[in-house]
Amino acid sequence: MLDPMQTGDGWLLRVRLPGGSLSADDLCAVATVARQLGSGFVDLTSRANVQVRGVAGDDVDRASRLLVAAGLAQPTASVDSRRAVVASPLTGHDPKARVDATPVVAAVVARLVADLDGAVPSKFGVVVDDGGSWSLAVVDGDISFEAVSTGWIVRVRGVAAPVGLAITPADVAHTALAGARLCVAGAARLDRVVGEIGIDRVVAGLGLAPVPSDAGGVRSGVVGRSRMLGLSGHRDMGRCNLVAAPFLGRLNADVLIEIADAAERARAAIRITPDHSVALCGIDIDAAPALVASLVDLGLVVDTDDPRANVSACVGSRGCASAHADTWAVAQVLSAQPSSGRTHLSACAKCCGAPPDSAGVVHLVAATTGEFR
């Protein structure tokens, strides 16, 4: 089953989506659980997953069973947690990508689910970057892969430079499994394992080829500095991709179903992104204007010049017992004003949900009085 967490507005169910990919039917299944057993709200997360909020304690098991039955979770929580794989949201549709990472993600998930024994540590994750227009450099992963001309360069959490090269997709899956086994054995995320046994032993355990001389440094990421929204090019002429973001990454169940219907009409592949947005990929160019208009009518943001695109926040007092302020209300005020850059609101000193790359971001934290500073 899923690993539920009690919050200020009831129980929260994390629905992991390897690669952020799901179908229109999957969206509708999530919306149905949220509407019938939750508060009716669903959050998009920085790991390209969705969270069903406000589930009553007596309904947690039933909600979990429905999500498992829909194929959105594994029956065992320890197995489901291994499926935390983030991939480039536009992969397979991005003209700038070096490869289509979709089969790589599938291979990684298959190995982690079938061949890993034991429980991975909390927040364990794998990142698969196709080298395209959507960098995942700022996404937190224990082990990260980035496509380059010679294969996949490998990075581990807490170590800035690449530590090796995986040549084939099978090598990527094997290396991800080896990294996960190190985390299980050390009962810790990979940066702590590096601190305990040293990077040389970690690299030896991963069984990697030497880093190529042209591997380069860490790519800059889109999250925290700027956002990718609106229409972009597709690898196939006559098609395009569309990224739209709900305000503060939150959707109600009715809107979720409307998005699913719109995607199905446009025959678009659906991806949840690590920037709390939805990507609809492979849209016919002629159908794009109507699709954009329909998402705007639903309240989604499709333009980086929209002030709402530059405001982010933790859930605040509407969903967290530790919060000192209503971030939603303050964010609405901020989004009604001309934007001067990215602003993030944290309702307490824990700073949950803060952009991982804070360069150029105004970060306001609520004091115990509820005042943001």
Using CA atoms, how far residue 94 sits from 48, 97, 100, 132, 143, in Å, is 17, 5, 8, 7, 23
Instruction: Check residue 353 and give its pLDDT.
Output: 78
Per-residue pLDDT in tens (0 to 9) along the chain, 373 residues: 578 999 988 999 999 999 999 999 999 999 999 999 999 999 999 999 999 999 999 999 999 999 999 999 999 999 999 999 999 999 999 999 999 999 999 999 999 999 999 999 999 999 999 999 999 998 999 999 999 999 999 999 999 899 999 999 999 999 999 999 999 999 999 999 999 999 999 999 999 988 877 666 656 555 444 689 999 999 999 999 999 999 999 999 999 999 999 999 999 999 999 999 999 999 999 999 999 999 999 999 999 999 999 999 999 999 898 999 999 999 999 998 887 788 999 999 988 877 776 667 888 999 999 998 8
Instruction: Check residue 340 and give its pLDDT.
Output: 72
SS (H, E, C) 166-183: ECCHHHHHHHHHHHHHHH
Q: Which two tokens stand for residue 293?
A: 């208009």
> What is the spatial distance between Cα 30 and Cα 28, in angstroms, rounded to a whole number?
5
Instruction: Tell the residue number behind the tokens 């803060």, with chain if given.
Output: 354
> What is the spatial distance between Cα 349 and Cα 182, in angstroms, rounded to a whole number?
32
Q: Which two tokens stand for residue 298?
A: 């639903």
Closest CA to 143 of 157, 160, 161: 157
Q: Are 150 and 212 in contact (CB under 8 A)?
A: yes
> What is the spatial distance between Cα 216 and Cα 364, in angstroms, rounded to a whole number?
34
Domains defined along the chain, listed by start: 5-78+224-304 (3.90.480.10), 98-131+138-206 (no CATH), 308-365 (no CATH)
Q: Which two tokens stand for residue 251?
A: 């959707």
> What is the spatial distance between Cα 78 and Cα 173, in angstroms, rounded to a whole number?
19
Using DSSP bridges, classify how beta strands 50-55 and 10-15 pair: parallel, antiparallel or unpaired.
Answer: antiparallel
> What is the spatial distance between Cα 27 and Cα 313, in angstroms, rounded to a whole number?
23
Non-local CB neighbours of 358 within 8 Å, separated by 6+ positions: 224
Non-local CB neighbours of 289 within 8 Å, separated by 6+ positions: none
Q: Are 231 and 288 in contact (CB under 8 A)?
A: yes
Non-local CB neighbours of 14 within 8 Å, separated by 6+ positions: 2, 3, 4, 5, 45, 49, 51
| SS3 state of residue 89 | coil
Order the strands of the 126-129 sheet from edge to edge.
85-87, 126-129, 143-148, 151-156, 164-166
- The full DSSP string for 222-272 is STTT----EEEE-SSTTEEEEEEB-GGGEEEHHHHHHHHHHHHHHT-EEEE
> What is the spatial distance between Cα 286 and Cα 61, in angstroms, rounded to a whole number?
44
Q: What is the pLDDT of residues 152-174, one digit of tens each?
A: 999 999 998 999 999 999 999 99
For the chain, give the number of residues: 373
Closest CA to 126 of 172, 165, 93, 161: 172
* Residue 344 exposed, middle or buried by CB count within 10 Å (0-12, 13-18, 19+): buried
| SS3 state of residue 116 | coil
Closest CA to 172 of 141, 211, 142, 146: 146
- pTM for this structure? 0.94
- CA pseudo-torsion sign 43, 49, 52, 54: negative
